[in-house]
Amino acid sequence: MKNSNHSIGVFDSGIGGLTVVKRIESFLPNEKMIYFGDTARVPYGTKSNATVVEYSIQDANFLISKDVKIIVVACNTASSVALSAIEDRFNLPVIGMIEPGSELALNETRNGKIGVIGTNATINNKAYSKQLKKQDKQIKVFEKACPLFVPLAEEGWTDHEVSFLVAEEYLNEFKEIGIDTLVLGCTHYPLLADVIHKVLGNNVSLIDSGTAASIQVKKYLEKNDLSNIMKNKKVQHEFYVSDLPDKFRVIAERFMGRPIKKINKVDLEEIINL
Which positions are catalytic?
75, 186
Spatial separation of the C-alpha atoms in residues 105 and 114, rounded to whole Å: 7
Spatial separation of the C-alpha atoms in residues 112 and 136, rounded to whole Å: 9
Spatial separation of the C-alpha atoms in residues 76 and 9, rounded to whole Å: 16
> Rule CB under 8 A: is residue 264 a binding residue for a second copy?
no
Choose which of 40, 193, 263, 266 interacts with a second copy (CB under 8 A).
40
> Rule CB under 8 A: is residue 106 a binding residue for a second copy?
no
Strand, helix or coil for residue 225? coil
Find residue 86's DSSP bridge partners: none
> Rule CB under 8 A: is residue 42 a binding residue for a second copy?
yes
Choose which of 99, 143, 154, 208 interacts with a second copy (CB under 8 A).
154
For a second copy, which stretch binds (CB under 8 A), given 42-50, 58-66, 88-96, 182-190?
Answer: 42-50
Best CA proximity match to 111, nearest among 198, 183, 178, 172: 178
Torsion angle (degrees, nearest 10) of CA 63, 268, 123, 212: 20
Choose which of 3, 46, 111, 135 interacts with a second copy (CB under 8 A).
46
Find residue 144's DSSP bridge partners: 117
Choose which of 72, 94, 152, 183 interacts with a second copy (CB under 8 A).
152
Smallest distance from a second copy to CB 245, Å = 6
Q: How far is CA 11 from CA 33, 59, 129, 146, 247, in A?
A: 10, 7, 23, 23, 20
> Rule CB under 8 A: is residue 247 a binding residue for a second copy?
yes
For a second copy, which stretch binds (CB under 8 A), given 18-26, 54-62, 150-158, 224-232?
Answer: 150-158
Smallest distance from a second copy to CB 62, Å = 18
Other CB atoms within 10 A of residue 156 CB: 13
Q: How many chain residues bind a second copy (CB under 8 A)?
A: 27
Binding site for a second copy (CB under 8 A): 39-40, 42, 46-48, 51, 120-121, 124, 147-148, 150-152, 154-155, 160-162, 165-166, 169, 243, 245-247
